Amino acid sequence: MNMKLDRRSFLRVTSIAGGGFILSSVVPGALAEGSKAEAAVTSAELNAFIKVSSDGKITIYSANAEMGQGIKTTLPMIIAEELGARWEDVEVLQSPVNQELFGLQMAGGSTTVPRTWNQMRQMGASAREMFISAGSLVMELPREELKTQNSMVTHESGRSMTFGQLASLAAKQAVPDVETLEFKSREDYTIIGTSISGVDNLVIVTGTALFGIDTRVPDMLYAAYHKCPAIGGTVVSANIEEIKALPGIVDAFIVEGNDDPTELLDGIAIVGTNTFAVFDAKSKLKVKWDESDASTDSWTALVEQAKAKQSQRGDDEIVDKGDVRAAFANPDTTTIEAFYEYPFVAHLCMEPMNCTAHYKKGKGLLDDDTLEMWVPTQGPGRALSIADSMFGLGKDQVTVHQMRLGGSFGRRVYKEYIAEVIEISKRMEAPVKLTWTREDDIRHDFFRSGGFQSVKGAVDKQGKLVAFENHFFGMQHDGKPVSGSRFGANEFPILNIENAYASKTMFEIDIPCGPWRAPGSNTNAFVVQGFLDELAHAGGRDYLDFLLELMGEPRWFDEGNVRSLNTGRAAGVIKRAAKEAGWGRQMPTGRGLGLAFYLSHAGHIAEVAEVSVDANKKLTVHQVTVAVDVGPIINRSGAISQVQGAVIDGLSTMMAQKITFEKGRVQQSNFHDYPVLRMPDAPRVDVHFIESDYSPTGLGEPALPPLAPAVANAIFAASGHRVRKMPLVEEGYTM
């Protein structure tokens, strides 16, 4: 018995990081009885991902944020596969926010699939074993001879019982030891690897409330929040009384912030009976700002500073291996230099930032204040943490509802819009929905940081890369690099060659920056893969051969680290993309192919773009061929979507998107000056998966970085013009 209990406690210990499950039943009391009979099993101690009712309906809870990456469908597919469920019997529900029960409820960094792959399989397999135990008891057959399929426990004799018939008994079975669980082998999969339509699709196409911005609660008020256009400006005064007198306005007041853009900046809250009333009133605000401590950042100044130093090495060394100077000085090598530039960009989620909160004042002593929130967030734990740190509300006082996100791309890891609405609801003592205008959303983003890279490289007489050097110009806040503003010592091709040098110069800025789909990779790929293509041409080489030669023998650069470069996987996708795209075929004048490879978030991905460029620099991207190795594909439809979307997003960003700022003020405000690619300009995207035997990894991000260099290299092939600056509109291109 002790042994059993020990195993259970092991299961519980691992449950938070990824293990454990509970089966419950709609038969009243079944779980309670089971708990008594099996002593250690209580719902409070185990995770709760699966519920099977006696009518055979299987409910699977999805615990992580859905933002378009498809996780709400993907993770339940893994559970259903191991369980032996028939997908048609499965209903997926967003789980409550409870990280003790469900483990880390955070989606981001393309980490959810690799982080929960084993956990989800354990959930499904544990439940499967309990069904088999129950089936064994009822059918009086040895459990070794039973298996689950199509939501049934079956025996080779043809006897079977449904999950529904066995549900209440299964819930009373011993929880198997995680260590004893065996997972299905790939050839037995019936759900993983198929195409399953997103579980919210019916709700989406019928316009039923789903997103955070759709929240409506009784007696809800609507709010807008106006902050200083220069980050960090504080309010001196505002025409509050005039605003309060406007139609539909309930209240308006100045909020004193804490000077932290990730928490609460100074601003004016306007509360009314509908969104239009508060937006309209916001447009009539007259505010006197104190900008003495506000940002004075200037994009043009950053460009000038970087260009002035482009021929020097950076302030700090990143890596120094071999002897690049000797390689560059060698008369038998060809050395070239280039200066690359990429802008700040915004997240531009189609659903602007919003949040709904209901702060209820308690009567004191035993009647504490409470807070209920409906939050579109990548990590609901952050809503809990800010309720605690800023408002002193413990977990027991706060209820968080995880809402579907109308896009995020890294934006909704921040929580300032949550803090704003809590503050407003607390002041109003009423439920309040805060909605940002699109102008707020663009100007008060946490941007993908722009930057510059001054690169230098040498090829020998055979056209082989012999030296690579980079001076990276990045951005920092208070001495710390902002998200993605990095160039590492392991950046390709530094580890692949003998002579490499990289250094950096960091600019201190105030403009908020944050993770944006494939941080760092989405800009480093543009520079490195573009410049390597330049070097291949300088050496008279075909870029495909040049790239494959750099990869060399198949090997991991950091054995055991799935996020490191595996040259075999790299070569695999490079060859596949080239083959599928017809690399090397004769192209008409003005038309060209461009190849790029990039590894990010453990995804090895190669892309070939086929473009035309006319004499007026009108660009047409006809097709992008993508080869992907992220291990086995879980939801084929979702995976293809992520790749197609990343390609179109990458092209959209590369073509025309640029955030600039002067005197600390962001100069763009809405889609008219910050455009998104439209349907007529979307290329065909041809997606190929190499489903290697490695554990599956995420696909929300890694297909984006190779797009920009593939297109830039294709433009060179088509026109002879080398693109070293994004966006393309600034280089004179149109679509």
Partner 1 sequence: MPSYQMTVNGVDQEIEAEPNMPLLWVLRDLLGLVGTKFGCGIAQCGACTVHIDDIPMPACSVTVAAVAGRSVRTIEGLADGAQLHPLQKEWIAQDVAQCGYCQSGQLMSAAALLKRNPNPTDDDIDDAMAGSYCRCGTYIRIRSAIHSAASQMAANYVNAAEKKV
- Closest distance of CB 88 from partner 1, Å: 14
Q: Say whether residue 96 binds partner 1 (CB under 8 A).
A: no
Q: Say whether residue 258 binds partner 1 (CB under 8 A).
A: no
Amino acid in the structure at residue 292: S
Which stretches does DSSP call E strand in 291-397? 316-321, 334-342, 354-360, 370-375
Q: Say whether residue 431 binds partner 1 (CB under 8 A).
A: no
Dihedral sign computed on CA atoms, order 695, 696, 701, 704: positive
Q: Say whether residue 68 binds partner 1 (CB under 8 A).
A: yes
Rule CB under 8 A: choose which of 36, 159, 186, 216 binds partner 1.
216
Please state the φ and ψ torsions of residue 17, each to the nearest 5 degrees: -75, -25
Stretch that binds partner 1, among 63-71, 235-243, 318-326, 355-363 (CB under 8 A): 63-71
Structure tokens at 74: 């993907």
User: By three-state DSSP, how is residue 396 classified?
Assistant: helix
Stretch that binds partner 1, among 115-123, 143-151, 330-338, 435-443 (CB under 8 A): 435-443
Selection from 510, 357, 349, 512 nearest residue 419 by Cα: 357
User: By three-state DSSP, how is residue 19 classified?
Assistant: coil
Dihedral sign computed on CA atoms, order 44, 49, 53, 59: positive
Cα 212 to chain centroid, rounded: 18
Q: Say whether residue 440 binds partner 1 (CB under 8 A).
A: no
Which parts of 571-630 interact with partner 1 (CB under 8 A)? none
Complex with partner 1: residue 386 or 708, whichever CB lies closer: 708
Q: Say whether residue 645 binds partner 1 (CB under 8 A).
A: yes
Q: Say whether residue 207 binds partner 1 (CB under 8 A).
A: yes
- Closest distance of CB 501 from partner 1, Å: 37
Rule CB under 8 A: choose which of 18, 19, 34, 70 binds partner 1.
70
Q: Say whether residue 336 binds partner 1 (CB under 8 A).
A: no
Rule CB under 8 A: choose which of 213, 231, 528, 571 binds partner 1.
213
Complex with partner 1: residue 459 or 624, whichever CB lies closer: 624
Rule CB under 8 A: choose which of 5, 202, 245, 326 binds partner 1.
202
- Closest distance of CB 375 from partner 1, Å: 16
Q: Say whether residue 225 binds partner 1 (CB under 8 A).
A: no
Which stretches does DSSP call E strand in 368-464? 370-375, 398-402, 431-435, 451-459
Q: Say whether residue 655 binds partner 1 (CB under 8 A).
A: no
Q: What is the DSSP code (8-state) at residue 262?
A: T
Rounded to an integer, what distance in angstroms lies between the CA atom of residue 726 and that of residue 471? Answer: 18
Amino acid in the structure at residue 262: T
Rule CB under 8 A: choose which of 186, 258, 392, 671 binds partner 1.
671
Rule CB under 8 A: choose which of 201, 258, 462, 561 binds partner 1.
201
Q: Say whether residue 524 binds partner 1 (CB under 8 A).
A: no
Q: Say whether residue 204 binds partner 1 (CB under 8 A).
A: yes
Q: Say whether residue 195 binds partner 1 (CB under 8 A).
A: yes
Rounded to an integer, what distance in angstroms lies between the CA atom of residue 562 and that of residue 593? Answer: 30
Structure tokens at 154: 């079956």
Rule CB under 8 A: choose which of 143, 438, 477, 725 binds partner 1.
438
- Closest distance of CB 611 from partner 1, Å: 17
Q: Say whether residue 348 binds partner 1 (CB under 8 A).
A: yes
- Closest distance of CB 233 from partner 1, Å: 24
Q: Say whether residue 734 binds partner 1 (CB under 8 A).
A: no
Selection from 498, 481, 441, 493 nearest residue 666 by Cα: 441
Q: Confirm if 726 and 654 have CB atoms less than 8 A apart.
A: yes
Stretch that binds partner 1, among 46-54, 65-73, 78-86, 312-320 (CB under 8 A): 65-73
Q: Say whether residue 420 binds partner 1 (CB under 8 A).
A: no
DSSP 3-state helix, strand, coil percentages of the chain (rounded to 5)? 35, 25, 40
Stated length of the chain = 735
Which parts of 274-333 interact with partner 1 (CB under 8 A)? 274-277, 279-280
563 CB-near residues (< 8 Å, 6+ apart)? 601, 602
- Closest distance of CB 219 from partner 1, Å: 14
Rounded to an integer, what distance in angstroms lies between the CA atom of residue 467 and that of residue 328? Answer: 7
Going from the C-alpha of 199 to that of each of 215, 257, 301, 579, 681, the distances in angstroms are 20, 40, 48, 35, 29
Q: Confirm if 244 and 251 have CB atoms less than 8 A apart.
A: yes
Q: Say whether residue 374 binds partner 1 (CB under 8 A).
A: no
User: Three-state secondary structure along 579-628?
Assistant: HHHCCCCCCCCCEEEEEEEEEECCEEEEEEEEEEECCCCEEEEEEEEEEE
Stretch that binds partner 1, among 112-120, 530-538, 588-596, 636-644 (CB under 8 A): 636-644
Rule CB under 8 A: choose which of 200, 251, 320, 460 binds partner 1.
200
Angle at 201 between CA 198 and CA 206, to 5 degrees: 175
Q: Say whether residue 242 binds partner 1 (CB under 8 A).
A: no
Q: Say whether residue 351 binds partner 1 (CB under 8 A).
A: yes
Q: Say whether residue 352 binds partner 1 (CB under 8 A).
A: yes
* Residue in the block written with tokens 């084993």: 118
Complex with partner 1: residue 198 or 233, whichever CB lies closer: 198
Q: Say whether residue 198 binds partner 1 (CB under 8 A).
A: yes
User: Considering CB under 8 A, how many residues would be counted as binding partner 1?
Assistant: 66
For the window 680-719, what string marks contact with partner 1 as x by the rule CB under 8 A? x-x-xx----------------------------------
Complex with partner 1: residue 214 or 423, whichever CB lies closer: 214
Selection from 708, 603, 699, 715 nearest residue 647 by Cα: 708
Task: Print burial letters for 462-481: b (CB count within 10 Å at least 16), e (below 16).
Answer: ebbbbbbbbbbbbbbbeeeb
- Closest distance of CB 689 from partner 1, Å: 16
- Closest distance of CB 581 from partner 1, Å: 17
Stretch that binds partner 1, among 26-34, 74-82, 398-406, 550-558 (CB under 8 A): 398-406
Dihedral sign computed on CA atoms, order 111, 113, 114, 116: positive
Rounded to an integer, what distance in angstroms lies between the CA atom of residue 401 and that of residue 203? Answer: 18
Stretch that binds partner 1, among 40-48, 181-189, 206-214, 498-506 (CB under 8 A): 206-214
Q: Say whether residue 108 binds partner 1 (CB under 8 A).
A: no
Residue 43 Rama label (left phi>0; alpha psi -120 to 50; beta):
alpha
Rounded to an integer, what distance in angstroms lies between the CA atom of residue 257 and that of residue 660? Answer: 25
* Residue in the block written with tokens 């966006």: 727
Q: What is the Cα gyration radius of the chain? A: 28
Rule CB under 8 A: choose which of 483, 524, 644, 713 binds partner 1.
644
Rounded to an integer, what distance in angstroms lies between the CA atom of residue 525 and that of residue 606? Answer: 11
Complex with partner 1: residue 537 or 601, whichever CB lies closer: 601
- Closest distance of CB 274 from partner 1, Å: 4
Rule CB under 8 A: choose which of 363, 480, 585, 672 binds partner 1.
672
Rounded to an integer, what distance in angstroms lies between the CA atom of residue 707 and that of residue 649? Answer: 9
Stretch that binds partner 1, among 85-93, 151-159, 503-511, 644-652 (CB under 8 A): 644-652
* Concatenated DSSP letters of 135-157: HHHHHT--GGGEEEETTEEEETT
Element (H, E) at 666: strand 665-666
- Closest distance of CB 212 from partner 1, Å: 10
Q: Say whether residue 676 binds partner 1 (CB under 8 A).
A: yes
Complex with partner 1: residue 24 or 644, whichever CB lies closer: 644
Binding interface with partner 1 (CB under 8 A): 67-70, 195-198, 200-202, 204-211, 213-214, 216, 222, 247-248, 274-277, 279-280, 348-352, 404-408, 435, 437-438, 637-638, 641-642, 644-649, 652, 670-672, 676-680, 682, 684-685
